[in-house]
């Protein structure tokens, strides 16, 4: 099967520095490293922007799953994984997913969802879902 060639990957990491060293501190980074490698451009949002020295601790550097040459750009967006999770910081927002899924059967459909949540900025989006503190308070899932 031929490889899927991605134009761009959008990834959320726990922490990153300005040169694109990205840390995923949850127990699973899933296929994020493959996404970073598969795409021409990889843009990473992170919950926390850190100084490069943060990674001088090998325990922290061990949770970096691709080299910075694979990262095109980094933007700090605290809570930026919402409605998905950024383990171990916060879990995924199940009621939000349910509302999103239910919108498929609403009269207003996807547009209704967009109107309700997607404002002009990330700030407006986060306010529409209860704010950053609420996002960070979402419990991690139990499997």
Partner 1 sequence: MTAATDYTLAELCIVAASKAFESDGEVLATGIGVIPRLAASLAMKTTNPDLMMTDSEAWLLSEPNPLGKRADDFVPAAETWMGFSRIFDNVWSGRRHAMLGPTQIDKFGQTNTSALGGTYDAPKVMMLGARGFPGNSISHPNSFFVPSHNTRVFMDGECDFVSSVGYNPARLPKGHSLDDIDIRLVVTDLCVMDFGGPDHQVRLVSLHPGVTAEQVQENTGYPVVIPEEVAVTAAPTQEQLDIIAAMDPHNQRAYQIKDNPPGDRS
| Environment class of 139 (CB within 10 Å of its CB; exposed 0-12, middle 13-18, buried 19+) | exposed
- How many of the chain's residues bind partner 1 (CB under 8 A)? 10
* Binding string, residues 30-49; x marks residues near partner 1 by CB under 8 A: xx-xx---------------
Integer angstrom CA distances of residue 86 from 2, 12, 19, 131: 31, 8, 21, 16
CB of 128 to partner 1, least distance (A): 26
The string of DSSP letters for 104-129 reads GGSSSHHHHHHHHH--SSHHHHHHHT
Pick 34 or 125: Cβ nearer partner 1: 34
When asked if residue 82 is in the footprint of partner 1 (CB under 8 A), the reply is: no
When asked if residue 29 is in the footprint of partner 1 (CB under 8 A), the reply is: yes
CB of 33 to partner 1, least distance (A): 8
Binding site for partner 1 (CB under 8 A): 26-31, 33-34, 142-143
């Amino acid at each position: 099967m031929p490889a899927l060639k991605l134009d761009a990957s959008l990834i959320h990491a726990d922490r990153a520095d300005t040169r694109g060293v990205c840390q995923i501190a949850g127990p699973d980074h899933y296929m994020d490293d493959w996404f970073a490698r598969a795409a021409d451009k990889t843009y990473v949002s992170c919950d926390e922007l850190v100084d490069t020295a943060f990674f001088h601790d090998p325990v922290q550097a061990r949770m970096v799953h691709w080299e910075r040459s694979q990262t095109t750009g980094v933007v700090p967006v605290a809570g930026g994984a919402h409605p998905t999770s950024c383990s171990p910081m916060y879990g995924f927002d199940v009621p939000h997913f349910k509302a999103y899924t239910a919108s498929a059967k609403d009269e207003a459909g996807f547009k209704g969802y967009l109107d309700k949540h997607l404002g002009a900025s990330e700030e407006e989006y986060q306010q529409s879902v209860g704010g950053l503190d609420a996002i960070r308070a979402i419990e991690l899932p139990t499997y």
